[in-house]
Amino acid sequence: QVQLVESGGGSVQSGESLKLSCTASRNTDSFPFMAWFRQVPGQGREGVVSIGRFGHTTYADSVKGRFHISRGGPDKTLNLQMNSLEPEDTAVYYCAARVAPSSNAYGSLREAEYDYWGQGTQVTVSS
C-alpha cells in the first residue's frame, strides 16, 4: 500500500503561480511513473503531466510551457509548478502513482495506468 498526500492548493488570480507537492508514504524511486491529474465537477479526470522513472515527461497540450513537473528531496517528492494560471485550470488536482511493475518507463496520461491516488487538492483561479 502507498499513501499519497497532496499539498499546496489554493485560490489565486489569473496569471499567478502555485506549486503543488505530493508526498508518498515510501520512497518513489522504484515507481515506474507518477503523474498529476485534474478534475472539474461533472467531468472525468484529465491527465496533466506524467514523469517516468528516469525523468521522461509528458505534458497535456493545455499546460505546455506553463506547468513544470519535478521530483526532489530524499524521498523524491513529486512537485508541480504551475505558472500563468488561467481560470480554465480551476480543478481538483490529484497525484497518481504507478507502483506495479511496468515495461513503460516513460509515463502516461491515461488514468487506468495508475494504482494509487491522493485525496486531491483544490486549485481555484479567478479572472
What pLDDT score does 4 carry? 97
CA–CA gap between residue 92 and residue 100 (Å, rounded): 25
What pLDDT score does 50 carry? 98
Low-confidence ranges of the chain (pLDDT < 50): none
Tell me the per-residue pLDDT of 92-122, one tens digit each, with 9 for 90 and over.
Answer: 999 999 999 999 988 999 999 999 999 999 9
Start-to-end C-alpha separation, the chain: 40
Burial of residue 21, with CB atoms counted within 10 A of its CB: 0-12 exposed, 13-18 middle, 19 or more buried: middle
- Which helix (H) or strand (E) covers residue 68, if one does? strand 67-72
What pLDDT score does 27 carry? 87
3-state secondary structure of 113: helix
What pLDDT score does 59 carry? 98
